[in-house]
Structure 1
Amino acid sequence: MLSLDPTQARCGLSIRSYLVRFGGKTILIDSCNGNDKDRSTETFHRLNTPWLDRLRKLDIAPEDVDMVMCTHLHVDHVGWNTRLDNGRWVPTFPNARYVMNRRDVDHLSAPGTHAMIRELWLDSVLPVIDVGQADIVEGDEVIFGKAGDGMWLRPAYGHSPGSCMI
């Protein structure tokens, strides 16, 4: 949903995840903002949302998710990749493979990146890579099944260096 308020010079956008069941798998497409994250932008700073509770109301526990497909690695798409556990960022979905494009990974991990990029790299992407749950793909990749009868990533570069369509 898009809402415009010209008196405030603001634009309100909805941020969404998609839950897909395909081939016996439970797949989450993008994980929204996440809670407890230190963010430079007030809108996203230290959120406390019921996002995980909403997932549970669909009878989906974090352990049930087999795959998290990241269309790109921006703050509003990767926040629930991790959750805070005893002061450490850990994968929210302990049994999931996290699929992300190498171009975005390289962009986020590059030395001298902007502080806003660095913070989401450190709390929402790197912890998943560090524990070996990330599948970093090059571009046009079949994730499972076969092209035309499965799920795959197709490059849609522009919004971010590694933006993909699913």
Structure 2
Amino acid sequence: MSTAPNTAADASASTPPSWTVGEVTVHRIDEVLLPPATGPWLLPDATTDLVDREEWLRPDFAGPDGIVRLHSHSFAFEIDGVRVVVDTGIGNGKTRANPAWHDLGTSYLHNLGAAGFSPETVDLVLLSHLHTDHVGWNTRQVDGAWVPTFRHARHLTSRTEREFWAGYDMEESRRHMFDDSVVPVEEAGLLDLVDIPAEGIEIASGLRLLPTPGHTPGHLAVHLTSKGETALITGDCIHHPVQFAHPGIGSCVDIDPVQSQATRRRMLASLADTDTLVLGTHFPPPTAGRVVSHGDGYRMSPVSSA
């Protein structure tokens, strides 16, 4: 697994962008803009010819060269008195096989604090799945050891997800990632595994987890409801808005490509032409929008941040 070396600048911002969902403010916690080679590697069927036909993708989601843009960030919000972070990015100073993720030095923790979510105030960390670029800030290095970043928070993921990886014949780089970003949280007694039924499960008032398998077996999406307004955080069941128009485009690292496509088609059909705000975990700015019917598929109608 590799992309071009990471030359992208840290995507920090003095005031983290945010969106309002009823009484909930969802903040995007920027980590890094991923290098241009990430798109062709991750979504190989998103060819430049195909992307160029979707004019609505430019200038935000694709460049003039027809290459899709991807971003790494978390989301943070407070709902029903619970302070939540969804996914924790790549992390700093970690040894990774992918050069785009190796030994980063981003302003992620500064950005998190600027949104009002210093690590010690976070109650709950939701992990959509256990891939390297979604668990990295679970830990940070202190005195040569990897320790939980969110030391007062419960970390929650699907039981199906954790059990799948426990029985998986991991290559060395993935095992190393688990050792520095997952196991320390488990050993601290901070990781909770949840069974997620087909209809989803509510874990706090207005906060629901939905099963979205395929990219990984236990992948989950996060659904928010407040004062009649709704939002969905995708995780990696949708990596990029080009998949709105072409749901058959999958990721090169999907565990089950057929199931991943079926999940994506089902989700997009349920969201189309509704007021639900979709927040993409790898969508570059403007990051959020609504699913609108468009020809034989859909497009994203962006919603600007505050």
CA RMSD in angstroms comes to 1.9
Is the contact made by 2:76 and 2:117 (CA closer than 8 Å) also made in structure 1? Answer: no
Higher-strand-fraction structure: 1
Residue of 80, 89, 93 corresponding to 2:150: 93
Q: Distance in 1 between matches of 2:146 and 2:213?
A: 28
Q: 1:48 to 1:5 in 2, by over 3 A?
A: farther
Residue of 157, 160, 165 corresponding to 2:216: 160
> How many correspondences in the alignment?
160
Q: Deviations over 1:32-64 (max 9, x none)?
A: 111111111000011110000111112321100
Q: 1:5 to 1:90 in 2, by over 3 A?
A: farther
Alignment-derived partner of residue 125 in structure 1:
182
Q: Deviations over 1:71-93 (max 9, x none)?
A: 11111111111111111111101
Q: Distance in 2 between matches of 1:114 and 1:6?
A: 34
Q: Distance in 1 between matches of 2:152 and 2:215?
A: 29
Structure 2: stretches of 5+ with no match in the other structure = 1-59, 223-306
Question: Does residue 1:51 correspond to 2:108, yes or no?
Answer: yes
- Runs (4 or more) in structure 1 with deviation over 4 Å come to 4-7
Structure 1-normalised TM-score?
0.87
Shift in Å at residue 23 of structure 1? 0.8
Is the contact made by 1:68 and 1:98 (CA closer than 8 Å) also made in structure 2? Answer: yes
Alignment-derived partner of residue 264 in structure 2:
none
Alignment-derived partner of residue 3 in structure 1:
62
State how 1:1-150 maps to structure 2 within 5 Å: 2-3=61-62, 11-110=68-167, 112-140=169-197, 141-145=201-205, 150=206
Is the contact made by 1:66 and 1:95 (CA closer than 8 Å) also made in structure 2? Answer: yes
Structure 2-normalised TM-score?
0.49
Q: Deviations over 1:84-131 (max 9, x none)?
A: 111111110111000011222123333521233212211111111111
Q: Which amino acid aligns with 2:207?
A: M
Structure 1: stretches of 5+ with no match in the other structure = none
Q: Distance in 1 between matches of 2:103 and 2:68?
A: 21
Shift in Å at residue 11 of structure 1? 4.6
